[in-house]
């Protein structure tokens, strides 16, 4: 097993070759794309090396976005920062005037979107860091934005799912639920899919906000939905992972870790007919997507709220034990790992042969 220990937050890019092809390097939103599959293009080096670090000075729960040779990260102190993908140097910083939690930047058509804990969604020019528009909801935003068909979708703890005009931030429609919306909506074929804290999974027409259908799931959830084929997958606060059949519109299977009653906040990734996600039971779970049976479990030293990302035949995931793990997708066995020395609740962003992740002690790490 290859381990790398915590390095001080200094720029070390000058010592490493410029091997990543950053021109096509894109991870523009949480989970990589609107279907929230958590799968990166290409592979990473067998033994990743630290390319650069950047110390933000405050906790990071927000996952990075990568677009146009820039890394965008939301910092707990309320700053949205832009770093050069090659060097880690600061390009600009935008202050929301509040705090940023789990809401992760989304980059589309030259604009970055991120929510804050005062309930404001910010649209920021990706090149300059200048504000474009803001929209105020009624409570904190921990959801990440998804942009589709000219609208920006965002959930709020005020129980509403909002659709805003991409260019202006004007409200197009809103859907009321009976509980907070923590999760990021998944989008496919003109429908937005989201489960919230009211125990209902909804499919909503992106054009007008009409409900296409709903499925009662009997538990509230903070995890975002993974869409694969005719199924949706996510974990709940009732200690289960669910697979929903979107054709039959019912629960296809329920998975739990026997004797370990802990919620699942990590959002799932998909690889080789398997869904992979972390749990507050300290495990990373590899679950057969068809049957709901466990293929493997990997135990960390603390809860796993970080959402895994698949690159090639490995899955990368952080843990609150301070370690970033690379697990074999077939066996769940750990190979390379890195000890950041602080909890990793954010999720990896992978593009152009590099991985970027922030830690709760405020350091952003870039590996290749």
In angstroms, rounded to a whole number, what is the distance separating the alpha carbons of residues 304 and 297? 12
What angle (nearest 5°) sits at the alpha carbon of residue 22, between those of residues 320 and 76? 35
- Using DSSP's 3-state secondary structure scheme, residue 14 falls into helix
Q: How far apart are CA 264 and CA 261, in angstroms?
A: 10
List pLDDT tens digits, range 146-193. Answer: 999 999 999 999 999 999 999 999 999 999 999 999 999 999 999 999
Note the pLDDT of residue 5. 39
Alpha-carbon gap, residue 102 to 130, rounded angstroms? 22
Question: Which helix or strand (DSSP H or E) is residue 174 part of?
Answer: strand 171-176
Both ends of the chain: CA-CA distance in Å?
A: 17
List residues bridging with 354 in a β-sheet: 351
> How far is Cα 88 from Cα 92, in angstroms, rounded to an integer?
12
- CA-nearest of 115, 42, 114 to 82 is 114
pLDDT in the model for residue 261: 93
CB 344 within 8 A of CB 324: yes
Tell me the C-alpha distance between 90 and 84, whole Å: 7
Nearest alpha carbon to residue 180 among 162, 215, 156: 156
Contact 44, 314 (CB under 8 A): yes
User: H/E element holding 252?
Assistant: strand 250-255
| Pairing between β-strand 334-339 and β-strand 3-4 as defined by DSSP bridges | parallel
316 CA to centre of own chain? 13
pLDDT at 119: 98
Q: How is residue 298 written in tokens?
A: 């990997």
Question: Can you give the pLDDT at residue 25?
Answer: 76
pLDDT tens figures, 82-134: 999 999 999 999 999 999 999 999 999 999 999 999 999 999 999 999 999 99
For the chain, the helix, strand and coil percentages under 3-state DSSP, each to the nearest 5: 0, 45, 55
Task: For the chain, list the domains and their CATH numbers.
Answer: 3-367 (2.130.10.10)
Structure tokens at 99: 């705090």
- The sign of the dihedral angle between the CA atoms of 46, 81, 302, 295 is negative
What is the percentage of the chain residues whose pLDDT exceeds 90?
92
Q: What global pTM score does this model have?
A: 0.94
Q: Which residues of the chain have pLDDT under 70?
A: 1-24
Return d(Cα 156, Cα 181) in angstroms, integer.
5
Q: How big is the chain by its Cα radius of gyration, in Å? A: 19
Structure tokens belonging to residue 178: 């009976």
8 A C-beta contact, residue 106 and residue 65: yes
């Amino acid at each position: 097993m290859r381990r790398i220990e915590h390095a001080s937050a200094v720029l070390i890019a000058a010592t490493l070759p410029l091997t990543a092809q950053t021109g096509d390097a894109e991870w523009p939103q949480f989970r990589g794309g609107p279907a929230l599959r958590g799968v990166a293009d290409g592979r990473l080096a067998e033994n990743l090396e630290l390319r650069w670090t950047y110390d933000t000075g405050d906790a990071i729960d927000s996952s990075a976005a990568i677009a146009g040779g820039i890394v965008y990260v939301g910092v707990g102190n309320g700053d949205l920062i832009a770093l050069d993908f090659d060097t880690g140097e600061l390009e600009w910083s935008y202050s929301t005037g509040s705090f940023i939690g789990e809401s992760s930047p989304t980059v589309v058509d030259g604009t970055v979107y991120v929510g804050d804990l005062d309930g404001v969604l910010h649209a920021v020019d990706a090149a300059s860091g200048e504000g474009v528009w803001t929209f105020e909801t009624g409570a904190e935003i921990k959801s990440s934005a998804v942009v589709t068909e000219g609208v920006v979708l965002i959930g709020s703890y005020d129980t509403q799912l909002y659709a805003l005009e991409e260019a202006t931030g004007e409200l197009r429609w809103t859907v009321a639920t009976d509980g907070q919306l923590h999760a990021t909506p998944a989008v496919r074929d003109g429908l937005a899919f989201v489960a919230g804290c009211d125990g209902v999974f909804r499919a909503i027409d992106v054009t007008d906000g009409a409900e296409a259908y709903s499925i009662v799931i009997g538990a509230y959830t903070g995890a975002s939905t993974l869409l694969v084929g005719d199924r949706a997958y996510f974990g709940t606060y009732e200690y289960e992972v669910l697979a929903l059949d979107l054709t039959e519109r019912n629960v296809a299977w329920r998975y739990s870790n026997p004797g370990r009653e802990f919620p699942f906040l990590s959002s799932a990734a998909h690889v080789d007919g398997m869904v992979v996600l972390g749990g507050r039971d300290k495990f990373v779970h590899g679950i057969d997507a068809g049957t709901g049976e466990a293929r493997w479990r990997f135990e960390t030293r603390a809860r796993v709220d970080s959402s895994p990302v698949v690159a090639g035949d490995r899955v990368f995931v952080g843990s609150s034990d301070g370690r970033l793990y690379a697990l074999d997708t077939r066996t769940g066995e750990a190979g390379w790992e890195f000890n950041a020395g602080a909890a990793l609740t954010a999720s990896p962003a992978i593009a152009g042969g590099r991985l970027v992740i922030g830690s709760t002690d405020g350091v952003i790490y870039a590996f290749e």
